[in-house]
Amino acid sequence: MGVVNVTPDSFSDGGRFFDTTAAVKHGLELVAEGADLVDVGGESTRPGATRVDEAEELRRVIPVVRGLASEGVVVSVDTVRASVAAQALAAGAALVNDVSGGLADPAMIPVVAESGAPFVVMHWRGFMDGGNVHGVYEDVVAEVVDELHARVEAVLAGGIAPDRIVVDPGLGFSKEAEHDLALLAHLDRLTALGHPFLVAASRKRFLGRVLAGPEGAPPPARERDAATAAVSALAAQAGAWAVRVHEVRATADAVRVARAVEGARTEGNTPGASGEGAR
């Protein structure tokens, strides 16, 4: 899953038309680099980001969704607003990615249920002025799995079919680096929920922390793509349904390698095991 963030800091030059054109072009490039779907979002959810109003989010997102869908791209819309999800689906989006798992807008689950589209349910503990609520955990893996389970129950009760649900641990959302790493170390526990899972580690703070080491300064976000691809390989090996990344090429390669290694495992390919191999 390649990311197209239609936010002023992503595509800052020129007017609105340029923004849309540049965003569509970028989405097509991500597909050419190996993305199977493109996630279009108009509201940054990063810590410190201010919320955009609904009209502005619609202006940013809908033309890009329409443009990419009309080119045959499988588009997911990254929004916590039901109205944006509904209009994006009408404009050709195939999937709704809600970082609040349906919590931010009570109209979201009915809208998605009605459409029959797949729904990404992320672990989320809420907005706070200028970011997300501070997460306190005793056992982050158990709590994230339990809270996701509760969200999945709510989503099912709201009429979204079980085979339309994807879960996501929500790396970096109300989580510190140690929490994100613990979640990545235990992705197998997510599979117990019985739904495919998505991992979105791309360029996130915890990777900056890992790369910086105990004393150093974290490298800027754009210098975290190799680290992101490493997470993509690990996530693919753990059976992820998708990885959400800004830079697709390295991740597409990482996923191919993980798949090839998995293929060698499942085919029971052990060259030389019959005694005719290397001497």
- Active-site residues, by number, are 204, 244
Coil, strand or helix: which one is 54?
Answer: helix
Q: At its nearest, how many Å lie between ligand PMM and the CB of residue 167?
A: 9
Regarding 244 and contact with ligand PMM (CB under 6 A), the answer is yes
Q: Which residue, 5 or 251, is less far from ligand PMM as judged by CB? A: 5
Q: Which residue, 5 or 174, is less far from ligand PMM as judged by CB? A: 5
Contacts of 176 (CB under 8 A, 6+ apart): 135, 206
- In order, the DSSP letters of 84-98 are HHHHHHHTT--EEEE
Query: E strands, the chain, where?
Result: 2-5, 38-41, 75-78, 95-98, 119-122, 127-128, 131-132, 165-168, 198-199, 242-243
Per CB under 6 A, the list member of 19, 57, 168, 247 interacting with ligand PMM is: 168
Tell which positions 87-146 bind ligand PMM, by CB under 6 A.
Answer: 97, 99, 120, 122
Q: Are strands 131-132 and 127-128 parallel, antiparallel or unpaired?
A: antiparallel
Q: Tell me the residue number closest to ligand PMM, measured at CB.
A: 200
Per CB under 6 A, the list member of 2, 3, 89, 245 interacting with ligand PMM is: 3
Q: Which residue, 22 or 198, is less far from ligand PMM as judged by CB? A: 198
- Cβ-contact 177, 211 below 8 angstroms: no
Q: Which residue, 43 or 255, is less far from ligand PMM as judged by CB? A: 43
Tell which positions 6-25 bind ligand PMM, by CB under 6 A.
Answer: none
Contacts of 123 (CB under 8 A, 6+ apart): 101, 144, 147, 148, 151, 167, 168, 169, 170, 173
Span of 39-47, 87-95, 127-135, 138-146 interacting with ligand PMM by CB under 6 A:
39-47
Helix axes 54-70, 82-90, angle to 10 degrees: 20
Contacts of 179 (CB under 8 A, 6+ apart): 135, 137, 140
Per CB under 6 A, the list member of 45, 79, 132, 228 interacting with ligand PMM is: 45
Per CB under 6 A, the list member of 19, 43, 57, 78 interacting with ligand PMM is: 78
Tell which positions 173-202 bind ligand PMM, by CB under 6 A.
Answer: 198, 200
CA 177 to chain centre: 17
Q: At its nearest, how many Å lie between ligand PMM and the CB of residue 80?
A: 10
**Total interface residues for ligand PMM by CB under 6 A:** 17
Find where tokens 């998708």 sit. Answer: 242
Span of 104-112, 164-172, 222-230, 247-255 interacting with ligand PMM by CB under 6 A:
164-172
Span of 22-30, 106-114, 144-152, 163-171 interacting with ligand PMM by CB under 6 A:
163-171
Measured distance CA(36)–CA(33) in Å, rounded: 9
CB-count burial class (<10 Å; 0-12, 13-18, 19+) for 134 = exposed
Q: Which residue, 168 or 225, is less far from ligand PMM as judged by CB? A: 168
- Residue 222 main-chain phi, psi, to 5 deg: -70, -10
Residue ranges binding ligand PMM (CB under 6 A): 3, 5, 44-46, 78, 97, 99, 120, 122, 168, 170-171, 198, 200, 203, 244
